[in-house]
Amino acid sequence: MSVGEASGGGRTPHPVCAAAELPPGRRRIVTIEGKSIGVFNVGGRYFALRNRCPHRGAPLCEGQVVDLVTAPAPYAWENERFGEIIRCPWHSWEFDLTTGRSVCHPDSIRTKSYPAGVAAPTEHDRAEAYEAAERGGVVVVWV
């Protein structure tokens, strides 16, 4: 979902705001095609996530933007990927802002559909992500 890729994939570009209105470290939550979407500037790169946590439906994009905390060994905390993780305001599930993937279960596949009346076998693990980029001084999201 990098800025350099040819955008679109059949999706429609929507202007969000002037790039100057979304400086690094900030976010904006906008409604596009009836969907609440958070657009983030992470160190000059833009990312967008559906403002809905796949766990309990919380407004995910209102959560804290944090670093990825890791440890090469017990008791050795290390922060990396500064500001690239969003922590859901309910229950603190962590998602990778750049992909929507769950930090705890990055490889789990988001269940998109299942037979009517049948519960999904597991919670959805991935937040819906959209491409976002700056085009001619405007932040654009493809939805």
List residues near another protein by CB under 8 A.
66, 69-71, 73-78, 87, 91-94, 103-104
Beta bridge partners of 46: 41
Coil, strand or helix at 21 = helix
Q: How far is the CB of 97 from another protein (least distance, A)?
A: 14
Coil, strand or helix at 131 = strand
Nearer to another protein, 73 or 116 (CB): 73
Q: What is the DSSP string of 41-68?
A: EETTEEEEEESS-TTT---GGGSEEEEE
Q: How far is the CB of 89 from another protein (least distance, A)?
A: 12
Q: How far is the CB of 91 from another protein (least distance, A)?
A: 5
Q: How far is the CB of 93 from another protein (least distance, A)?
A: 6
Nearer to another protein, 53 or 140 (CB): 53
Nearer to another protein, 5 or 78 (CB): 78
Contact indicator for 7, 14 with CB cutoff of 8 Å: no
Nearer to another protein, 28 or 87 (CB): 87
Provide the Cα torsion 91, 93, 98, 99; round to 10°: -120
